[in-house]
């Protein structure tokens, strides 16, 4: 891949320069949606002119999409002027969604168990006990839109206790179809007299926050499980904008949870770790140095090639590589697809039949769930590949020490 690396790095460096110019121009680093809205008032005319139709053609399938540009900040604030958004739980989504909605000028409060890790983190982020930070029960009582962002296991274990507090007129919101879809396991059955909606950001809550601060937006899916008021979809879309979504596509609770659990157990996290490790170990077993094995497996992927896929697609990335690399990639891609497809079929079935749900509920329902997860993640951190990664990252010219 040496010659391809050089050409890909040249391409990447061109793109980086363009991206840097754009970022400087936009100066969005600390922009709230209000700053962004001002910027968009200039560009919206062009965007709306080209995107007036909200049913778009995705490779032959027509889908409805919702865009932030339809919700200028003043309209958003007016829409929620009588509402209190009560975010229950302050993990990564609580952090990202809560701070974004607060920065968008909405009335937001947080509900978490007192004196836990989340309580501490919420105070660090400026939520004030007794003003905007409460116990779970008190926050639900004060809220009109109850945003259940507890861990999926905690949504189940707390449900019998909190469901009577979700009274008529309130709205129940989730960021995952998990609890409602797997009701036989979770026992989460929403009250019949409330709207039940979902906005599921397609990324970590940390990314929800950083994209918002950069004036960008996360892609999210949006769904309605129960529409009592006739306004459930509109409300879901508005909340999606409030928490920092750029555009939203429609789904159902069931499709959201099936695709989400498959994705994170697949290409988004588990499969990529599996593939990285497999290739790294083969290179090491054949006498390649750690530095070479890591660069040919991870560093070149994340620093050079994958950003090109994000920018313009797979063919663009292939094309940015040498003809030698292109020939090999074209020959081997179908072999990897054929080999891995049965694994994905097995994974999807395990999601659909609830096996994955039951494992998550059991594991994350333990009192020691944080320590237990941390222990297994430490084992990954200590794998040779990722220890080597720390050294390689430290050699980047723009390196800042990790903590
Ligand atoms: N993270 C993502 O990338 C992502 C993306 C899209 C959607 N979602 C969905 O968003 C929701 C929230 O996910 P998350 O990742 O932000 O949170 P998470 O890390 O899964 O859950 C953390 C929150 O749950 C609370 N919690 C855990 N056990 C509890 C218990 N027994 N009683 C009371 N509180 C308890 C924690 O409080 P303590 O600190 O007190 O333990 C913390 O506030 C989930 O439905 C998830 O599937 C997540």
Instruction: Give the residue, out of 135, 151, 270, with the most ligand 1 atoms within 8 A of its beta carbon, to mutate for a pocket test.
Output: 151
Beta-sheet pairing, 61-67 with 108-111: unpaired
Q: Is 260 annotated as a binding residue?
A: yes
For the full predicted model, state whether its pTM sits above 0.75: yes
Residue 115 CA, distance from chain mean position: 27
pLDDT at 269: 96
pLDDT at 43: 41
pLDDT at 29: 32
Question: Do 129 and 246 fall into the same domain?
Answer: yes
pLDDT at 39: 42
pLDDT at 24: 34
Report which of 351, 349, 357 is spatially closest to residue 184, judged by C-alpha positions: 357
Of 216, 250, 284, the residue that ends a domain is: 250
Report which of 341, 377, 142 is spatially closest to residue 269, judged by C-alpha positions: 377
Report which of 169, 172, 142, 144 is spatially closest to residue 159, judged by C-alpha positions: 172
- Cα(113)–Cα(121) distance, integer angstroms: 12
Question: Do 291 and 242 fall into the same domain?
Answer: no
Residue 191 inside a domain? The answer is yes
Question: Do 270 and 189 fall into the same domain?
Answer: no
What sign does the dihedral 27-28-30-36 (CA atoms) show?
positive
Q: Ligand 1: residues within 6 Å at CB?
A: 89-94, 112-113, 116-118, 149-152, 154, 157-158, 175-176, 178, 200-201, 204-205
Question: Do 186 and 283 fall into the same domain?
Answer: no
- Contact present, 222 and 33 (Cβ < 8 Å): no
**CATH code for the domain in which residue 241 is found:** 3.40.50.720
Q: Is 32 annotated as a binding residue?
A: no
pLDDT at 403: 65
Of 250, 277, 308, the residue that ends a domain is: 250
Contacts 24+ apart (CB under 8 A), 365-374: 365/153, 365/154, 365/156, 365/157, 369/151, 369/153, 370/117
pLDDT at 7: 45
Residue 376 CA, distance from chain mean position: 22
How many domains is the chain partitioned into structurally?
A: 2
- Contact present, 103 and 85 (Cβ < 8 Å): no
Spatial strand order of the sheet with 195-201 comes to 55-58, 61-67, 245-250, 218-226, 195-201, 171-174, 145-148, 85-88, 108-111, 133-134
Question: Do 243 and 359 fall into the same domain?
Answer: no
Question: Do 95 and 224 fall into the same domain?
Answer: yes
Question: Do 79 and 225 fall into the same domain?
Answer: yes
Residue 24 inside a domain? The answer is no
Question: Do 141 and 284 fall into the same domain?
Answer: no
Residue 157 inside a domain? The answer is yes
Residue 313 inside a domain? The answer is yes
- Cα(200)–Cα(257) distance, integer angstroms: 10
Instruction: Give the residue, out of 93, 203, 377, with the most ligand 1 atoms within 8 A of its beta carbon, to mutate for a pocket test.
Output: 93
pLDDT at 115: 81
Residue 3 inside a domain? The answer is no
Measure 268 CA to ligand 1 centroid, in angstroms. 19
- Residue ranges making up the domain that contains 281: 266-395
Report which of 143, 140, 139, 117 is spatially closest to residue 130, judged by C-alpha positions: 139
Report which of 112, 101, 104 is spatially closest to residue 140, judged by C-alpha positions: 112
User: DSSP strand E in 90-209: where?
Assistant: 108-111, 133-134, 145-148, 171-174, 195-201
Of 192, 221, 250, the residue that ends a domain is: 250
Q: For ligand 1, atom 25, name the residue with the nearest CA.
A: 150
Residue 218 inside a domain? The answer is yes
Mean pLDDT, contiguous 10-residue spans, the chain (403 residues)? 42 41 35 43 38 77 94 97 98 98 98 94 97 98 98 95 97 98 97 98 96 97 98 97 97 98 97 98 98 98 97 97 97 98 98 96 92 97 98 94 75
Please report, for residues 2, 53, 260, 329, 361, the alpha-carbon distance to residue 348 in angstroms, rounded to integers and kept in the order given.
37, 33, 10, 26, 18
Question: Do 153 and 279 fall into the same domain?
Answer: no
Question: Do 209 and 329 fall into the same domain?
Answer: no
Question: Do 162 and 116 fall into the same domain?
Answer: yes
- Give the number of the atom of ligand 1 that is nearest the alpha carbon of residue 94: 16
Residue 206 inside a domain? The answer is yes
Question: Do 159 and 219 fall into the same domain?
Answer: yes
- Contact present, 98 and 87 (Cβ < 8 Å): yes
159-182 confidence digits (pLDDT tens): 999 999 999 999 999 999 999 999
């Amino acid at each position: 891949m040496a010659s391809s690396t050089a050409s890909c790095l040249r391409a990447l460096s061109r793109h980086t320069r363009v991206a840097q110019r754009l970022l400087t121009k936009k100066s969005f680093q600390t922009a709230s949606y209000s700053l962004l809205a001002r910027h968009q008032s200039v560009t919206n005319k062009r965007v709306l002119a080209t995107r007036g139709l909200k049913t778009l053609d995705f490779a032959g399938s027509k889908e409805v999409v919702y865009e932030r540009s339809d919700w200028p900040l003043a309209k958003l604030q007016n829409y929620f002027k009588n509402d209190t958004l009560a975010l229950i739980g302050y993990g990564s989504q609580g952090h990202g969604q809560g701070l974004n909605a607060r920065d968008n000028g909405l009335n937001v409060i947080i509900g978490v168990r007192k004196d836990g890790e989340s309580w501490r983190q919420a105070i660090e982020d400026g939520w004030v006990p007794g003003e905007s930070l409460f116990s779970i029960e008190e926050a639900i009582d004060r809220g009109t839109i109850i945003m259940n962002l507890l861990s999926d296991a905690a949504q189940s274990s707390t449900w019998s206790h909190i469901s009577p507090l979700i009274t008529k007129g309130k709205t129940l919101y989730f960021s995952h179809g998990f609890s409602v879809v797997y009701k036989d396991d979770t026992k989460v059955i929403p009250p019949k007299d409330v709207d039940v909606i979902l906005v599921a950001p397609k990324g970590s809550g940390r990314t929800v926050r950083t994209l918002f601060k950069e004036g960008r937006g996360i892609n999210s899916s949006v769904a309605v499980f129960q529409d009592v008021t006739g306004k459930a979809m509109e409300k879901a879309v508005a909340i999606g904008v409030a928490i920092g979504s750029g555009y939203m596509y429609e789904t159902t609770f069931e499709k959201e949870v099936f695709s989400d659990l498959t994705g994170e157990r697949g290409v988004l996290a588990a499969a990529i770790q599996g593939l990285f490790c497999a290739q790294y170990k083969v290179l090491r077993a054949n006498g390649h140095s750690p530095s070479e094995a890591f660069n040919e497996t991870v560093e070149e992927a994340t620093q050079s090639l994958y950003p090109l896929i994000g920018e313009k697609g797979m063919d663009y990335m292939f094309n940015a590589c040498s003809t030698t690399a292109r020939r090999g990639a074209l020959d081997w891609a179908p072999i990897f697809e054929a080999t891995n497809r049965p694994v994905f079929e097995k994974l999807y079935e395990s999601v659909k039949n609830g096996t994955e749900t039951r494992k998550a509920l059991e594991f994350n329902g333990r009192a020691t769930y944080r320590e237990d997860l941390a222990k297994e993640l430490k084992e990954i951190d200590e794998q040779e590949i990722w220890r080597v990664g720390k050294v390689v990252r430290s050699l980047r010219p723009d390196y800042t020490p990790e903590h």
